[in-house]
Amino acid sequence: MAGANPTPSEYIQHHLQNLTYGLHPENGMGFAHGAKEAAEMGFWAIHVDTLGWSLFLGLIFITLFRKAAKNATTGVPGGLQNFVEILVEFVDQSVKDTFHGRSSLIAPLALTIFVWVFLMNLMDLVPVDFLPSLFMVLGVDYMKVVPTTDVNATLGMSLSVFALIIYYSIKVKGVSGFVGELTLQPFGKKMIPFNLLLEGVGLIAKPISLALRLFGNLYAGELIFILIAIMPFWIQWALSVPWAIFHILVIVLQAFIFMMLTIVYLSMACEDH
């Protein structure tokens, strides 16, 4: 962090800066020392903290669910098995109610999205100074611990969903059916350019809105926690606890919305007119 007693502006900028690794035009390969160097590294720079925490939380998800599956019993279930079964039944029912096609991928995909996004969002409840200060002791200057406050992470997930939308659209409708859907609706053959403009914008808006909705809500929540942290100590407790309780709803709701929109978009892709 900039100095022993950073200004509020320096404090906020520090906590919003990712640990960035890439090729600097002057300094070569290495970690960026500040937002200016990170920007100079360009598009191919890697946010190491976003990738690291995403993989770590994904590994937690896989480990817990694998353990629950291996230890599953037909008798009285343990706490972990009971929790996992509730989640699986909830997601499975959501898929049955929303997805009208036939695919064995959608339910596991929806479960993965919901739990993984929830875990990434949950990191927002970790005190804003705890992990960054811990990593500074280890010599790491920057550490953002909430992957979903990085638009690169949310956009990466939404582009993966977008690729599945294109795949299922072509698989179910064929190339001609998919192209026809983009060019012949809603005004018929005489308005093909206008149809393509309307349908193309609607198609491209799906991954963008999916990514920005999750990013915007979590980034705003993280920023509020940071703003609370620069206030006097007695005010911090008065504000942080109520905001954390309210933010639990945001964390769960945003994971649910991301999952449900994914199911809805894939269901629309599988509808053959």
Active site residue 213: yes
Provide the CB-side half-sphere exposure for 13 (13 A, CA): 13
Reply yes or no on whether 66 is catalytic. Answer: no
Beta bridge partners of 24: 28
Catalytic residue among 133, 213, 240, 267: 213
Q: Pick the catalytic residue from 9, 27, 71, 209.
A: 209
Q: Which helix (H) or strand (E) holds 214?
A: helix 192-229
Question: How crowded is the C-beta side of 3, counted as CA atoms within 13 Å?
Answer: 8
Using DSSP bridges, classify how beta strands 46-47 and 20-24 pair: parallel, antiparallel or unpaired.
antiparallel
* Tokens at 208, concatenated: 């963008």
- Which DSSP letter does residue 23 get? E
Q: Which amino acid is at 52?
A: G
Residue located via tokens 């509730």? 86
CA distance 138 to 229: 22
Interatomic CA distance for residues 118 and 249, integer angstroms? 11
Residue 169 is encoded by which pair of tokens?
């659209």
Catalytic choice (54, 158, 195, 217): 217
Q: What are phi and psi of 16, to 5 degrees?
A: -95, 0
50: which strand partners? Answer: none
- Using DSSP, state whether 28 is helix, strand or coil: strand
In sequence order, what are the beta bridge partners of 28? 24
- Could you list the active site residues? 209, 213, 217
